[in-house]
Copies of this chain bind each other. A is one copy, B any other.
Amino acid sequence: MADEGGRIGVVAALVRATFLVNAVYAESAREYGLTPQQGQLLCVLMPRSYAMGELSTLLRLAKSSLTGLVDRTERNGLVRREPHPRDPRGTLVTLTPRGRTLAREFYDETCRRVDELPAGLAPDEREVLATLLGRMVRDNEVPIVFAESGHPPD
């Protein structure tokens, strides 16, 4: 069989790893009463607030899609719209206290689960994996959709 036991190409490895992480992310979100998209929104907002337009770029969503996502998340009491301090046209999206708590819990739990995925790798192998993926992520300018610790920088 070409599958079990054989070498795997980078492409298939990346796509299948993506499938795996997606599943873990979705399951974790679900257990916290979140959709993956709402979970992602909370994670993005952990370090700081963003304007709608920034979020749209960051999450690669059409503006109208983002309006809906923020609407629903706001309805659930997890984020809040407030006027942008510098631009009266703009809106800042911020975590509510409840949103921050839930974000933290979801984030931590998701980290634990994703951390389990490469459990079969030795510590130095994990380090190598992190470095290589980290470079790929940086080279492709992936926005901070999932910060290192979720804390704002000191």
Contacts and interface: CB of A to CB of B under 8 A. Distances in A.
Interface stretch (A49-57, A75-83, A92-100, A125-133): A125-133
Number of copies: 2
A130 B9 contact: yes
Given A12-B146, A17-B17, A128-B132, 11 more contacts: A8-B131, A10-B118, A10-B127, A10-B129, A12-B147, A17-B18, A17-B21, A20-B142, A121-B132, A129-B136, A132-B132
A53 to B, nearest CB: 18
A87 interface: no
A21 B153 CA distance: 27
A114 B21 contact: no
Contact of A11 (B15, B114, B139, B142): B114
A4 B21 CA distance: 23
A48 interface: no
Given A117-B140, A153-B1, A148 B12 contact: yes
A27 to B, nearest CB: 9
